[in-house]
Amino acid sequence: MEPLEQRVERWITDHEQELLTDIEKLVRHRSISQKGEPGYGEGCRDAMEEMLSLARAYGLEAENADGLCGVITLRSGPRRIGLWGHLDVVPEGSGWNYPPYACTRKGDFLIGRGVQDNKGPAAAALYALRCIRDLEIPVSSTFQQIVGCAEETGMEDAVLFASRYTVPDYNIITDCGFPVCYGEKGMLGVRLRSLSPFSPAVLSFHGGLVSNLVPDSAQLVLTSDAQTAHSLKTLPGELEVKWLEDRVVLNAKGLSAHAAFPDGGINAIGVLCGAVEKAGLMQGSDREILAFLKELSTSADGSALGIACEDEESGPLTCVCGVLRLEGGYAQVDLNVRYPVTADAHALCEKIVERCAERGFFAVELSDSPPNYQKKDSLLVRCLTDSYQTITGRSDPPFVMGGGTYARKLPNAVAFGPGMPVDLSPLNLPEGHGGCHSPDEAQSIPNLLLALKIYVLSLIRLDQALSEDSLPPHS
């Protein structure tokens, strides 16, 4: 009989084009999560129905769980192993060379919003269950794929699902890099507001769309007068200036990046604040507000708030100023803080409140999502890591990261792929393009097919390991 690995490889080859077509079907839905909307908005509802329809067409059980998550089941024994992913995406932003919702194929890559985060991986996980079913591979566990539509906006979907339904005994999140992420930094959601409003000379001041992205655009609108005109002569050239009848519009461009990995981004709010400060366009209390906004948006290590720290296990704290708005003339910013697994969230919040008071701001909201941390030598981590290393021949170790996945909201959970090293140079994309939250988001097709193989074989090996270990279902 043909070896299992070869059977799986042949099945994947036979279904490659079908998989890519299904990813395109998912990507064409602009599924940006809308809080408070049924099913998290029309785009998310449509993407979810697309996913569940595909699962049913492939002979799998599929149901919509109260508009929170889709549940796709390959039923066998009482033990349940879950594969979690999401169909919502971050806003596309600006600067794309390719249409964000068309899923363009260029050589060995797919380009479009969600191809990497997380519709491509979600489709691969679906095909993993389909492969096990089609090849009639004997297993003693029930596999369930659970897909949500609010992962990018706080993971309310997973929290509510877990409160209403029984979560699988072991949970694998397909929204990370290989091999296994056994820990995730804690996350603070911080909203700050200035104690004093800007003067009437500041008509509008905004930048960014969501807190978990380094913003790629920002705009300031000022009343125009002789002093403003004089100051604009010294304005740095990186800003776009538009003169209107009674006002001047200043636009800044940056480079988007995921808040968990901000080093590759350029914060447009910081670019704008720095240029305006240098030109002396604001005076008095306006200048003081601007100075703090500049500090918050030009450093990403938390030093502006006095919370910079790091540990050996998870690295340094990161802090991204993702959104700036005016509320009744008051400056309001949303910050995304990722703190080390050993840090004290309460102490960090106290420092934030203290520093804000010193700089004429106060904290409107402080929310904490504690770190997720599993034992590195647990059966789940060891089995998935060994499986990945055996299949790929690589020696990459399990790791802790700053990104946040559903793992932090679930019991007995780790993140497992499908990200792998990739060379984007064949695409000739501009710097900063091609990443999961960046313009021209790209997914390597060979990498995704390898990830599919890893998922199929790892699920089978995990099922066997759990059976041999005689572990009861997780309670």
We report the CATH number of the domain holding residue 261 as 3.30.70.360
Angle, helix 445-469 to helix 4-27, in steps of 10 degrees: 120
CB 317 within 8 A of CB 404: no
| pLDDT values of the chain reduced to their tens digit, one per residue, 475 residues | 789 999 999 999 999 999 999 999 999 999 999 999 999 999 999 999 999 999 999 999 999 999 999 999 999 999 999 999 999 999 998 899 999 999 999 999 999 999 999 999 999 999 999 999 999 999 999 999 999 999 999 899 999 999 999 999 999 999 999 999 999 999 999 999 999 999 999 999 999 998 989 999 999 999 987 667 767 776 777 899 998 888 999 999 999 888 988 998 999 999 999 999 998 989 999 999 999 999 999 999 999 999 999 998 899 999 999 999 999 999 999 999 999 999 999 999 999 999 999 999 999 999 999 999 898 999 999 999 999 999 999 999 999 998 889 999 999 999 999 999 999 999 999 988 999 888 999 999 999 999 999 999 999 999 999 998 754 444 3
Residue 120 lies in a domain: yes
CB 319 within 8 A of CB 300: yes
Same domain, yes or no: 103 and 228: no
Same domain, yes or no: 64 and 142: yes
pLDDT (0 to 100) of residue 473: 43
- Count: domains in the chain: 2
CB atoms within 10 A of CB 469: 9
Same domain, yes or no: 112 and 157: yes
Same domain, yes or no: 349 and 421: no
Residue 128 lies in a domain: yes
| CATH code: domain of residue 157 | 3.40.630.10
Residue 475 lies in a domain: no
Q: Which one of 350, 369, 388 terminates a domain?
A: 369
Same domain, yes or no: 136 and 155: yes
Same domain, yes or no: 330 and 435: no
Please give the residue range of the domain that contains residue 339.
187-369
* Residue 264: exposure state from Cβ atoms within 10 A (0-12, 13-18, ≥19): middle
* Reported pTM: 0.79
Residue 204 lies in a domain: yes
Residue-wise pLDDT for 164-217, tens only, equals 999 999 999 999 999 999 999 999 999 999 999 999 999 999 999 989 899 999
Nearest Cα to Cα of residue 26 among 397, 443, 345: 443
Residue 348 lies in a domain: yes
Q: Which one of 347, 369, 391 terminates a domain?
A: 369
Same domain, yes or no: 385 and 337: no
Same domain, yes or no: 334 and 218: yes
